[in-house]
Amino acid sequence: MSDSNHPIYDNYEDIFHRHYESYGEGRYPFERYEIAYTYGFDLVSHAAYRHHNWLEIEEDVRRGWEEKDAGPWEDFKEAIRYAWETAKDAVSE
């Protein structure tokens, strides 16, 4: 169970586990990546990020991640992006 502010995050936790297993497993435990998945997923609740593509928002998203001091951007950016894209798809359904 995450601390995401988005009520449907828990419905996607298995998807994020599978993504982690295919890409991030080994560097850090899933719990470290879950912070990134939660952060990315919650971005969709901000109108400034919802209707843009990744290249348009990446700099702001990176700055927010670095302010959290939750780990190196390069290690977690793919998890953040994946969760953001997943959340965008979920709210557009």
The tens place of each residue's pLDDT in the chain, 93 residues long, gives: 445 555 567 888 899 999 999 976 678 999 999 999 999 999 988 888 888 999 999 999 999 999 999 999 999 999 999 999 998 887 766
Q: What is the biggest distance separating any 2 CA atoms in the chain, rounded to whole angstroms?
A: 34
Residue 17's identity, in one-letter code, is H
d(C-alpha 54, C-alpha 32), whole Å: 22
| Angle between the N-to-C axes of helices 54-68 and 73-92, in degrees from 0 to 180, rounded to the nearest 10 | 120
CB atoms within 10 A of CB 10: 11
User: What's the CA gap between 16 and 53, in Å, rounded?
Assistant: 20
Instruction: Give this prediction's pTM.
Output: 0.87
